[in-house]
Structure 1
Amino acid sequence: MPVGPLLHLLRAQCGALKTATKLVWQSSPGWTIGRLILVVIQGILPLASLYLTKLIVDAVTVSVTDADKAPILNQALVLVGLYAGVMLITNLCIALSELINAAQRQRLTDYTQELLHTQAAALDLGYYEDPEYHDILERAEEEAPYRPVDILDNLVQIGENGISLLAMVGLLLSLHAGLIGVLFAAALPAMFVKMKFAQVFYRWERSRTSLERQADYLGWLLTSDSAAKEVRLYGLSRFFGQRFQQIRQRLYREKLKLVMRRFIWFAGTQLITSGVVFLAYAFIVYQTVQGTLKLGDLVLYHQAFQRGQGAMRAVLQGLAGLYEDNLFIENFREFLALKSRLPALVKPRSVPMPLQQGITLENVSFQYPKTTRQALRNVSLTIRPQETIALVGENGCGKTTLVKLLCRLYDPTEGRIALDGIDLRSFEITELHRHMSAVFQDYVQYHLTARENIGLGNIELSDEAAIKEAALRSGADTVIHQLPQGYQTVLGKWFEAGEELSGGQWQSIALARAFLRNSPIIILDEPTSALDPKAEYEVFQKFYQLTHNQTAILISHRLATVRMADCIYVMANGSIIEKGTHQELLRRGGTYAQLYETQAKNYR
């Protein structure tokens, strides 16, 4: 191999070793130290057993021609005893290695998953609008469960066999230095083939990430409870199943071609290896027949060469494995290298609470990543402290996008949003979020107990009375008291003894979660869409009564529920086209009045 590519491979191995050892050490320092000690011991033991074998064979050979066999027999028995002791230590080390290996593998896997989860939680929502991000995440999630364990196994393999190889090399040098060259010549071809195809498979798998995700999505449609009703009602299982199989068959055929190519290359290298090994064995036998070596030396050098060959192959395969791991773990490092578009501040401002001037939006525009369509255009409004405003308009007009910006889940493309005149981007995000609570249209149904579902609204609060008060405000308390275990009942059917709720009941739980936070700013995005009219009316009556000390933003398609808001903003095509109280907007006879009249007809 030319010097340039070889140096590139060596640099790649150094990078792989650095990343791998850092990951292993950080996950479990104690287990790593124990494993290093064991690796050294297990690397030396083969040399001890091999040398004892030579001494035993020599002793037995001498006893055949020596008349006084007693001293030689005693010597042989002592050697056999020592050999048995080495075997006992070897077996104990194997058992101990299994214990350390199991513990360290689990810690390493858990640590890698923790890194992945922490990174995912730190990234802003803008990434979820980017298909490339989902490809990166898919590759990282695919590698995380097993690739670190492969790294650990390869490091152990290199360590144990590397020590054994050094010992065998020392023995073989005493016979002929050329045998060392034979060891390398027998093992290097297979190593280069493995590295070559590691790159091939790496490039192929990266190019097929999107296709793999499509197959995963179809599998999810066929197995998830979210899609189960429509899949069965419309008879879609066969359609989705066929499309899934088409994708998997395509991936199978492409991968099989690569595997066959790799097999042909490996078969060729094995022919070369077999010829080289034959010459080495022939040389050792020739030296013995010529009388240069004793019978014990024949056994010693034969075993030394055989074990040296195995150790050399194992070390090079471990290095090639690390090279492959380095290629694939690059996917994991690529994910960890992503930076939030909402970076942490060095000197953040304190969030001004209670508000004195209120919330202002100044010429705010926004467009989601990877699209040219503007979701908001030059939106300006002011929400006074402890004021309740409502955002109304047809689907897609920008209402939900606006509240996402208010929560700083995204930053505006243009303009700014401020609290008491201070830009939201001047605050530390987690501190800002502590002063907000929200119920979105796609609220989460946590398959936990009813108490935990509500308690997640303020995980630092463990006050049972506050949890029940929040449930009373949302109407969830009535629902919960009908459950078999009350507040300790697991909600949803994913886990044992779980109880499923209706859409409206789940929504009341989500509302209770928001009320528990008792934050100065509360945002309700279609908070009662799944409730019946009577329950909705009761919730809003309580809401208006109990939020007089809070700044509230409501989004609702049901205009009757927002009529008591202090100010109503009507949105269309990402802009505010009307604002005023319910009565003011009706008198103007504009878009709001038309929408209200259209809805009112349905109740006459």
Structure 2
Amino acid sequence: MQTVRASIAKIQRLLSWGRVLRLVWQSSPQWTVARTVLLFMQGLMPLLWFYIVKLIVDATAAGVQATNTDVTFNSVLGLLGMLGLVVVIMDLSDSASEFVDESQALLVTNHIFARLHGKAISADLEYYENPEYYDTLHHTQKEAPARTALVLKDCVDLCRGLISLLAVAGVLLSLHWMFIVLLVVTKVPEVLAHLKYAREVYRLGRQQASTERKANYFNWLLTDGWHAKENRLFALGEGFMQRFQDLRQQLFRERLAILLKNFIRKFLGKVSGNLAGVALLVYVTDRAFQGEITIGDYFLFYWVFRWGTANLQLVLRSLVGLYENNLFLSSLYEFLALPSRVKAPLEPRAIARSLQTGIEFEQVSFQYPTGTRQCLEEITLSIRPGELVALVGENGVGKTTLIKLLCRLYDPTAGRITWNGINLREFDPTELRQAISVVFQDYAHYDLTVRENIAFGKLAFADDTDRVVQAAKSSGAHAFIQNLPQQYETVLGKRFDEGEELSIGQWQKIAIARAFFRDAQVIVLDEPTSALDAKAEAEVFEQFRRLADDRAAVMISHRLSSVKKADRIYVFDQGRIVEQGRHDELIQQQGIYARMFEMQAQHYR
């Protein structure tokens, strides 16, 4: 049974090489063709060089003893001319090969990054809450681009080496068949050493992924500007440095043990190969003294054997490299094959241009795939066109999770959500999200221009300057943008040259402008005014309220003063809706909402 499984594993690895070669071909078909032509030239031209030199040596030796040296010299001169032409062709093919290799490696790397990024932005959000996903992603990002280019190089080297070895075998066979056997056998220890090392390095790499991520995390804490203030204020730097160094030392010790064993194996393998070369030298020297071969033959046999040894080593190293790189590329295949729970239907329904009957949550429950508790339990609520709906409650009671389900970043574990009476699962998720604009509490900061930060709300209208400015005015951002050095062309953040940093409140206004810019059917603000003063909060709320006149609007807020004028308020507690109604109705109920409002109102009396 184990033999069968081992055979299946080998077949899978061979098929994986094919997948890698398909990636290479997809990234650069023209360069692949050029490389194929060059490898035949590189594989055969050295043998022609050896043979011409052999003829030159024999002709020179004969010319020394000849009576008409002019004729002999002229013949040698012709051979030297041929040798010079061969040398030029070899140099040209080598230089062209280097140029093609480096160019193709860049294209392959770009293609792999495109595949990685494509999968990363399409992978279900749940993967970003799973440490195993980050380990796989880290290992893939670290290894896949370079390893794919190495597979290409190994395939080229393998083909070139095989072409050369066929020519070498023909020459050595004329001397004695045992030298072909000797050539192959002496390289077996080195190949086994490489295979052993490849397996050990791969296993270690998978084991060290989590440790490397921790080390990278401490490196980020030490070098990123976001933590610079607290590093100094709380004197955290020395401790983070020590933890980083401890982790790097652990990685070094584990790798050093493997390197030491590999050094011993490789040394023994190289010694056996070199001793085989000495044995051939003894044999051909003896035959030369006996007059059985010429000086040119002596030169040819010895250097062809040495060249054959080098090419056999190239072939075996390429095979080992293919094996090793394929092991590492298994992380790439694993990453690209991640299944998706949130899928588009085969025949998706079209999203209506306007929200007609509204959105319904019908007995919706949800538990995160990696969680152990229900985040939402039997949620039933409605969001009507033209309504402003408020979701309130303490942190962690499921308000933001509800919005993630609305955007179909996750699917409910029970119940259903409908849009104009149609289940969200019947829409293409990408098209659905285009109809919703959300500012989450942990909104993104893009270290790009103000214009880009706002226009990311809807890239199709990124060149519409009036629309960008109007969105900024609606969020209250226009005033401070006018005071920036390049106004809407100012780069934000300090990551790049000439960048301008904003306050938290200003960043929040930019994020709200991005949501307004989208002009979506549903607009959601998750704690949209937490960093704004009372005046700015009132202005944003009024603008938000006006936007709800012809679309649906949802606001999540801890500041109950912001939600007093909402058409409907849902109060969440422990993943359930425990109260609902207008502000006055909820105050009269004297429940959770009334107590929360009273506690906040005391601060303003």
Q: TM-score range by the shorter chain?
A: over 0.9
Partner of 2:599: 598
The answer on 1:460 being equivalent to 2:454 is no
Q: How far is 1:4 from its partner?
A: 8.5
Give the structure 1 partner of residue 449 of structure 2: 449
- Find the counterpart in structure 2 of residue 45 from structure 1: 45
Task: Measure how far apart 1:8 and its partner are.
Answer: 7.3
Q: What root-mean-square deviation, in Å, do the aligned CA atoms of Structure 1 and Structure 2 show?
A: 1.7
Partner of 1:113: 113
Task: Tell me the residue number matched to 1:235.
Answer: 235
Alignment partner of 1:149: what SS? helix
**Corresponding residue SS for 2:457:** helix
Whole-angstrom CA distance in 2 between matches of 1:20 and 1:520: 44
How far 1:9 moved relative to its partner?
8.6
**Secondary structure of the corresponding residue to residue 186 of structure 2:** helix
Quote the offset at 1:276 in angstroms. 2.9
Separation in 2, partners of 1:284, 1:332:
50
| Shift in Å, 1:352 | 3.5
Deviation at 1:343, TM superposition (A): 1.6
Confirm or deny that 1:205 pairs with 2:200: no
Specify the alignment match of 2:348 in structure 1.
348
Does 1:168 pair with 2:184? no
- 1:505 correspondence with 2:506: yes
Q: How far, CA to CA, are the matches of 1:41 and 1:401 in structure 2?
A: 62
Q: Give the match for residue 589 of structure 1.
A: 590
Q: CA deviation at 1:284?
A: 1.9
Closer/same/farther in 2, CA of residues 133 and 10 from structure 1, 3 Å limit = closer
Structure 2 unaligned regions, length at least 5: none
Matched, 1:386 2:395: no
Q: Is the 8 A contact 1:57 1:295 kept in 2?
A: yes
TM score, norm. by length of structure 2: 0.97
The 1-side partners of 2:435 and 2:4 are apart by 58
User: Given that residues 520 and 551 in structure 1 are in contact (C-alpha distance below 8 angstroms), is that contact kept between their aligned partners in structure 2?
Assistant: yes
Aligned match of 2:525: 524
Structure-1 separation of matches of 2:337 and 2:409: 20
The amino acid that maps onto 2:147 is R
Letter in 2 for 1:499: E
CA 1:6/1:64 → structure 2, altered by over 3 Å: closer, same or farther?
farther
Aligned counterparts of 2:8 and 2:426: Cα–Cα separation in 1: 45
Contact 1:387 1:552 in 2 (8 A): yes
Kindly indicate whether the alpha-carbon contact (under 8 Å) linking 1:182 and 1:280 is maintained by their aligned counterparts in 2: no
* Residue 536 (structure 2) aligns with: 535
Q: Does the CA contact (< 8 Å) of 1:377 and 1:574 recur in 2?
A: yes
Q: How does 1:49-448 map to 2 (within 5 A)?
A: 49-448=49-448
The structural deviation recorded for 1:332 is 0.8
CA deviation after TM superposition for structure 1 residue 6, in Å: 9.8
Give the Cα separation in 2 of the matches to 1:217 and 1:277. 51
Residue 408 of structure 2 contacts residue 429 of structure 2 at CA under 8 Å; is this kept in 1?
yes
Tell whether the 8 Å contact from 1:451 to 1:467 is kept in structure 2 after alignment. yes
Separation of aligned partners in 1, 2:481 and 2:20? 50
What stretches of structure 1 of length at least 5 have no aligned partner?
Answer: none
2:253 & 2:101 partners in 1: Cα distance?
36
Corresponding letter in the other structure for 1:546: L
The letter for the 1-side match of 2:321 is G
Deviations 1:244-282 (Å, cap 9, x if unpaired)?
111111111111111111122222323433333332222
Distance 1:123 1:286 in 2: 69
Q: Secondary structure at the match of 1:576?
A: strand
- Report how far residue 60 of structure 1 moved: 0.5
Q: Write the deviation string for residues 507-539 of structure 1: whole angstroms up to 9, x where unpaired.
A: 111111111110111111011111111111111
| Closer, same or farther: CA 28–69 of 1 in aligned 2, 3 Å | same
Q: Secondary structure at the match of 2:437?
A: strand
Indicate if the aligned counterparts of 2:472 and 2:513 stay in contact, CA closer than 8 A: yes
Contact 2:344 2:426 in 1 (8 A): no
Closer/same/farther in 2, CA of residues 584 and 378 from structure 1, 3 Å limit: same
C-alpha deviations, 1:116-148, integer Å up to 9, x for none? 000111111011111111111111111133212
Amino acid at match of 2:248: R
Partner Cα distance (1:57, 1:204) in 2: 53
Q: Is the 8 A contact 2:108 2:145 kept in 1?
A: no
| 1:12 positional shift | 6.2
**Structure 1 residues 321 and 8, CA gap change in structure 2 (3 angstroms):** farther
**Distance in 1 of aligned mates of 2:314 and 2:118:** 36
Residue 9 and residue 533 in structure 1: after superposition, are their counterparts in 2 closer, same or farther (change >3 A)?
closer
- Whichever residue aligns with residue 74 of structure 2, its letter is N
d(CA) in 2 for partners of 1:488, 1:206: 44
Amino acid aligned to 1:202? Y
- 3-state SS of paired residue (1:378): strand
TM-score for the superposition, normalised by structure 1: 0.97
Question: Matched residues in 2 for 1:578 and 1:406: separation?
Answer: 20
2:145 alignment partner, SS class: coil
Change (3 A) 1:5 1:577: closer
User: Which residue number corresponds to residue 486 of structure 1?
Assistant: 487
Give the whole-Å Cα distance in 2 for the aligned partners of 1:12 and 1:159: 21
Q: Tell me: CA distance 1:427–1:29, structure 2 relative to 1, closer, same or farther (3 Å).
A: same
C-alpha distance 10-54 of structure 1, shift in aligned 2 (>3 A): farther
Of all paired residues, the percent bearing the same amino acid is 45
Kept after mapping to 2: 8 A contact 1:16/1:325: no
- In 2, distance between residues paired with 1:425 and 1:152? 42
3-state DSSP of counterpart to 2:554 = strand
Deviation at 1:181, TM superposition (A): 0.8
Kept after mapping to 1: 8 A contact 2:388/2:568: yes
Q: Is the 8 A contact 2:187 2:272 kept in 1?
A: no
Contact kept, 8 Å, 1:58 with 1:296, in 2: the verdict is yes
Q: Which amino acid in structure 2 is aligned with residue 579 of structure 1?
A: Q
Change (3 A) 1:9 1:168: farther
Equivalents in 1 of 2:312, 2:274: separation in Å?
A: 15
How many residue pairs end up in the alignment? Answer: 603
* Aligned partners of 2:387 and 2:548 also within 8 Å: no
What amino acid is the match of 2:300? Answer: L
Deviations 1:52-84 (A, max 9, x none): 100000001101111111111000001011101
Alignment-mate amino acid for residue 470 of structure 2: E
* Counterparts in 2 of 1:15 and 1:546: CA distance versus 1, 3 Å: closer
1:463 counterpart letter in structure 2: D
**C-alpha deviation, 1:503, in angstroms:** 0.7
Q: Indicate the SS of the match to 2:187.
A: helix
SS state at 1:356 partner:
coil
In the alignment, the residues of structure 2 paired with residue 157 and residue 13 of structure 1 have an alpha-carbon distance, to the nearest angstrom, of 19
1:564 aligns with 565
